[in-house]
Structure 1
Amino acid sequence: MTLEFGKTIDEDVVEQILSILPPKSLKRFQCVSNRWYALITSPRFVAKHLSNSTHNNLSTSVLMKREVRKDTNPDETEELFSFLHFRNDEDNDVDSVHDEHSFLSSIQEFHIPFPTGVKTPHESLIIIGHCKGIICLAQAASGEVILCNPANHEYKLLPPSTYLPDSDWPFLTTFQFRDGLGFGYDPNFNEYKIVNIGFSAPELSTPDGFNIYNPPKAAVYTLGTDTWREIKTDSLETETTILWPEQFQMHFKDMCFWLGHEQHKELDVFDEGEEQFIREVIIMFDTGDELFHNIMLPDEFDYPSKNYFVENLLGWKDSVALLGGKICQISSFGIWVIEEFGGPNGGAWTKHITFDLPVEPLIFWKSDRVLLNGPNNTDYRGLIFSYNLGTKKLKNLPIRSERTDSTAIVYVSSLVSVLGGGKPESKDNSTPNAEFSVFEYPSPPVSHYMVDKKTYSYSVWAIPSDDVSLRIKKVMEGLRTEFGGPEIDPHIAVVGSIRMKHEDMLNKFISLQSHVISSYKAKVNQVVTRSSYFQCISLLIHSSFKVSPELSFTTGVCGGQFRFWNKVRPHLNLLYGYLTEEERKKAQEKVSYMDEGLSSLSFFITRLALYKIDYKDRSLKSWEKIADYPLRFE
């Protein structure tokens, strides 16, 4: 027993030592014996090694894509991937900008070998993100996606997705058009996932000159099954707007994060002076529930008193943080941390720190360390620096880049395979893998905050007279009987998707009563159908000043009151739902059959109402009227 006990201890010690070694060494040690090979390749050891690498306080690795001049021809450049390995110590700070003292312990440069089937040149590779030992790359020209682990020399070309809309714009390539690519990990089912959000080209509406934007579609790739499947994007649509992810930022605590914007579903192409985008937003994807969420930026980033522009999101001191630069002072930056998810603004932000940098930051590799890439028009051209926010000391690293748009990510070396099976087939018919998790000690996920709190929007509705409402309700009831969908109160959304504190919003609505006083006429232009859930079948209302001057006045006043300027054509929605094109056409014809005069109806708007809306609730049961007031007949 004593011998067996001693042997067990020895094996545990060996395993502990091996679990802190780099993957390159472990690959060699696999050849020592069958026992070592079985240990190093076991899922439990891979998970332990990843956990140790993630929590290693001795070093940090950064993967950087940069442009260098070729040795064979200095007039040409090539793009390299470089691993920068930093020691996380504080003893090597010196006071020289030109210091190359190696707290940067090593630099490894390499080209990523292409899997079979990749046709486009190496220079078009884009770093999408890193998640628990795996890197996601994409080809800028073709849209092909590659998962790789350079530490164990594994690369996997993903199959193409067939669920997203093809671009109808010939001057846009597939990947440029599908800019919603994100990469993350689902801890519930031990799965790496890629989500791709796509928008089809807008429909051109003539002769009024409005572009109609349809809601996004999304597909998720699961590494374990090596397949794509379509998922719902309900949370990326409101009654009058859509949310558009623009730039993937990171995977953090079981959530994928994008910077994006909210825009109207219809844009007037002839009015170039009109603000087309309503606001910048942060869009999130819960990799476990596969649901989208969104939160507002801090007030300093919002119009009309916008003082900062967004640099990027980051995980900062175990929190979701936003790095912003001051508009009028290009060297001044700040970090905001989100303290709470939910509420009328989607979240509460606190400004934690401000600082000055000589150039724009490339990446935070610790909470107080920043990599900088010197711009072309300065003395720092091509140089890579590390800057300590605490000591305010700048270090020149022994590495250069010929371009200022280099990209970098913090990387964790691991043995995680991108080639391997043993994963659940699907979320619907599988149970979590009880044997191991590739990340044994996760931080509390962001999604825990999301499920407990609601994010509301507010909307100002124009309410028709009682007799007209009764007439429209009969048509709505007939449509619901055949096509389903929730019961809707007849209304025209004057201003939709208002995001502000409840008290501020209510005060603005009350003050609206002294500006919009009189009832006014609305005239139906035609019955229209859309692929949008909230505008499935609707009455398009004349909005031109020539036809409806009072309506145009009301829309302008309400938009100004709630900082929501737009010239969107108003709709009175008759049916909410997801119908096929054939079903929508049939429903459109049914409206004319049930009430032939509805397509040219003129009626009075007699009330304005304020509603609190949760657009994730497609039953409408949680939608609540907050206040209303009657309009006076002149």
Structure 2
Amino acid sequence: MVQLPDEILEKILCRLSVKDLFRFKCVSKSWFTLISSPYFVKLHLNRSVQTKSNLSLFLRDYHLFRVDFNSLEDFKEEGFLRPVEIDYLASRYPYYEISICGSCDGLLCMSIHDIMKNVFLWNPSTKKSIQLPLPPPVSTAVSTADKLNSFVYRFGYDNTNNDYKVVKLMFFKIRESIEDYEIKVYSLKSNSWHIPKKFPYCPKLKSIGDSITCGAMHWISKVGSEKKRSIVAFDLGTEIYRVISLPELSDSYYYLYLDNLEGCLSATCSYHSSNVDIFLLKEYGGKNEHWSKLITISQPLISIGSFYTVKAIAYSKCGKKVLFLMDYERLIWYNLEDKSDEEIMFLGIEDLDEVYTCMESIVSLDVPEAVPANPNLI
């Protein structure tokens, strides 16, 4: 039997599905080593990103569903898609509601709405999951008398340290008009939490969508003595903050939030005029960093009726259409060239509380033993 060079073998294997790769691990010890190597994991992941192969859409109303991304592209008007309900989570946590907090490189971050507010990471392709250790207690800088108003988890990739991070923001009500917050960060590589130095101005909770991109988490804060609304970027690797100016807005707005459109930071602005602008931050972090308007959507432009919020989910494979979530109820394809739109209809789903893309990957969730939360680190 002719032995293929590793370079050719890698190019062949990286085109295969996760299911096939797991089967081929059994061919030989050398194949097992190759497929398990961090280099090959990244190679397989990068090809999936470039080609949008093996990409799924995860939908949540009261239950969690999965639908193949290709079926969205092939959707025909007046037809219905049949998403597959995922019973893996329901069987493990039958009495609790579960939310998706983020998707990155084939991993989903899930929050369990129980007393302890547990969080776990799950790779749907490998069927592996880990529950995160509990974060450290609230800092002494935040009084126990302060009321925990709300909290949010977000998940993304730290490209500085080749690590996956979960960020938890906790918001406290101190007095009627004064709020405080605390930030905690979990590292998959160390399987532990810590509390970094926080930005001096409180984030605006409603500004935070799926806002981890380019190795940083983003939110809007009122900065400085003038309380100027600005975007704050928290670098997951260096844990340094920087301030980014808002895009140039055309009108007074009532809703502005940040999101992630296929690795690009997006800002969605809903105006009192009922128009919606979506901006993308180009050349992120460089000297030529700038906002570019992707689209302006007005009520007459979309044929499906009135809307208040618009979330950009993904581009089509050809790049000519964008998938939008409207009011957390409806998914539509919007054609950037001819300005037409088409609503995607699902059987068995009433509302779309959360919609995330997730590709197949062999990213591992093997971690060291959990490090207990240490109050002395606060």
For normalisation by structure 1, the TM-score amounts to 0.48
Structure possessing the higher relative contact order (Cα contacts under 8 Å, 6 or more residues apart) = 2
- CA displacement at 1:25 relative to structure 2: 2.3
**Please, which of 272, 276, 287 is the counterpart of residue 236 of structure 2?**
287
- Correspondence 1:255 to 2:255: no
Q: After superposition, give the CA deviation of every residue in 1:273-304 in whole Å (9 maximum; x if it has no partner).
A: xxxx9565433211111122333423427xxx
**Please, which of 3, 7, 32 is the counterpart of residue 3 of structure 2?**
7
Higher helix proportion: 1
Residue of structure 2 equivalent to 1:158 = 132
- Correspondence 1:412 to 2:364: no
The letter for the 2-side match of 1:306 is: S
Give secondary structure in 2 for the equivalent of 1:387.
Answer: strand
How is 1:418-567 mapped onto 2 (pairs within 5 angstroms)?
Answer: 418-421=365-368
Give secondary structure in 2 for the equivalent of 1:7.
Answer: coil
Is the contact between residue 209 and residue 258 of structure 2 (CA under 8 Å) also seen in structure 1? no
- Alignment gaps of 5+ in structure 2: 372-377
CA distance 1:62–1:281, shift in 2 (3 Å): farther
The letter for the 2-side match of 1:252 is: T
For normalisation by structure 2, the TM-score amounts to 0.77
- CA displacement at 1:227 relative to structure 2: 1.0
**Please, which of 67, 78, 90 is the counterpart of residue 98 of structure 1?**
78
- CA displacement at 1:390 relative to structure 2: 2.3
Is the contact between residue 321 and residue 335 of structure 1 (CA under 8 Å) also seen in structure 2? yes
Provide the alpha-carbon RMSD of the alignment: 4.0
How is 1:27-38 mapped onto 2 (pairs within 5 angstroms)?
Answer: 27-38=22-33
- Correspondence 1:17 to 2:1: no
CA distance 1:84–1:333, shift in 2 (3 Å): farther
Is the contact between residue 242 and residue 264 of structure 1 (CA under 8 Å) also seen in structure 2? no
Residue of structure 2 equivalent to 1:442 = none
- Correspondence 1:306 to 2:252: yes
- Correspondence 1:365 to 2:314: yes
Name the count of aligned residue pairs.
355
Cα distance in 2, alignment partners of residues 280 and 400 from structure 1: 41
Give secondary structure in 1 for the equivalent of 2:65.
Answer: strand
Larger Rg: 1
CA distance 1:62–1:283, shift in 2 (3 Å): farther
Q: After superposition, give the CA deviation of every residue in 1:82-137 in whole Å (9 maximum; x if it has no partner).
A: 13322798xx69xx63256xxx8x9543134379xx86734x21111112222111
Residue of structure 1 equivalent to 2:85 = 109
- CA displacement at 1:163 relative to structure 2: 4.1
Cα distance in 2, alignment partners of residues 160 and 375 from structure 1: 33
- Structure 1 runs (4+) deviating above 6 angstroms are none
Is the contact between residue 233 and residue 243 of structure 2 (CA under 8 Å) also seen in structure 1? yes
CA distance 1:281–1:223, shift in 2 (3 Å): same
Is the contact between residue 309 and residue 324 of structure 1 (CA under 8 Å) also seen in structure 2? yes
Cα distance in 2, alignment partners of residues 197 and 373 from structure 1: 25
- CA displacement at 1:44 relative to structure 2: 2.3
Residue of structure 1 equivalent to 2:59 = 65
Larger deviation, residues 354-363 vs 106-115: 106-115
Is the contact between residue 109 and residue 119 of structure 2 (CA under 8 Å) also seen in structure 1? yes
CA distance 1:351–1:42, shift in 2 (3 Å): closer
Residue of structure 2 equivalent to 1:226 = 191
- Correspondence 1:84 to 2:45: no
Give secondary structure in 2 for the equivalent of 1:137.
Answer: strand
Residue of structure 1 equivalent to 2:374 = none
- Correspondence 1:337 to 2:280: yes
Is the contact between residue 212 and residue 260 of structure 2 (CA under 8 Å) also seen in structure 1? no
Residue of structure 2 equivalent to 1:600 = none
Tell me the percent identity: 23
Give secondary structure in 2 for the equivalent of 1:231.
Answer: coil
- CA displacement at 1:164 relative to structure 2: 3.0
Is the contact between residue 384 and residue 401 of structure 1 (CA under 8 Å) also seen in structure 2? no
